Structure formats: structure tokens, C-alpha cells
């Protein structure tokens, strides 16, 4: 997009329409300001992504914790919960599950 704008600015017109130099200069200034802000915006987006990944991890962990702390009377159900617990935490699959949320 920037390259196209440079061509338009050099020509001084777009699709046969002459554009005022002041307008082109204003647009060029805005493009330069946006280009300067882009790295900060990219870092902010990466931060937000990690923040929401952690929030998803917390939600999943809280949901599983509720299931693991409930009393169940029958042995097969308790063994199933133990297996789920071991798979989720012992093998760090909870983190992989969190990555799937992404």
C-alpha cells in the first residue's frame, strides 16, 4: 500500500483526478506516523494474545478443578477422574489444551 501511495504522490493524481499537494503531504505524514507506531501495536497485540491464552488456561484449570474436587461414590468414576487429572497436569497437556484454544 505504501508503494502505491508513493507512486500516486509522485504522479500527483489518481485515476485521472488531480490531488491537492497539501492532501498528499498530509496523507504521507499520517502514513509515516502509522509506520512508526506499528512495532508498538504489534507488541501490544502479542501481549494481549498471551494474556488471553493465560486467561483461557485459568478458565480450563478452574473448570477441571471443580470436577476433580467433587465427591464421587463409585470407583470407575473416581479412576476416570484420576486419569483425567494425571493426563492434564502430570504430562502438561493442560498447556497444550490451552494452545488449542488459540
Q: How many domains does the chain have?
A: 1
Q: Give one DSSP letter per residue of 69-85, joined into a string.
A: HS---SHHHHHHHHHHH
DSSP codes of every residue in 37-76? HHHHHHHHHHHHHHHHHHHHHHHHHHHHHHHHHS---SHH
Give the domain range for residue 93. Answer: 2-101
pTM: 0.52
58-100, pLDDT tens digit by residue?
Answer: 888 788 778 777 777 788 888 888 887 777 776 566 566 656 6
Amino acid at each position: 500500500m505504501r508503494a502505491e501511495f508513493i507512486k500516486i504522490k509522485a504522479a500527483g493524481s489518481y485515476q485521472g483526478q488531480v490531488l491537492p499537494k497539501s492532501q498528499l503531504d498530509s496523507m504521507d505524514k499520517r502514513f509515516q506516523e502509522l509506520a512508526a507506531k506499528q512495532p508498538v501495536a504489534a507488541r501490544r497485540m502479542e501481549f494481549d494474545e498471551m494474556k488471553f491464552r493465560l486467561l483461557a488456561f485459568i478458565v480450563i484449570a478452574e473448570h477441571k478443578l471443580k470436577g476433580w474436587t467433587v465427591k464421587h461414590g463409585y470407583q470407575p468414576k473416581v479412576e476416570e477422574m484420576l486419569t483425567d487429572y494425571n493426563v492434564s497436569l502430570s504430562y502438561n497437556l493442560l498447556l497444550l489444551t490451552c494452545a488449542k484454544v488459540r
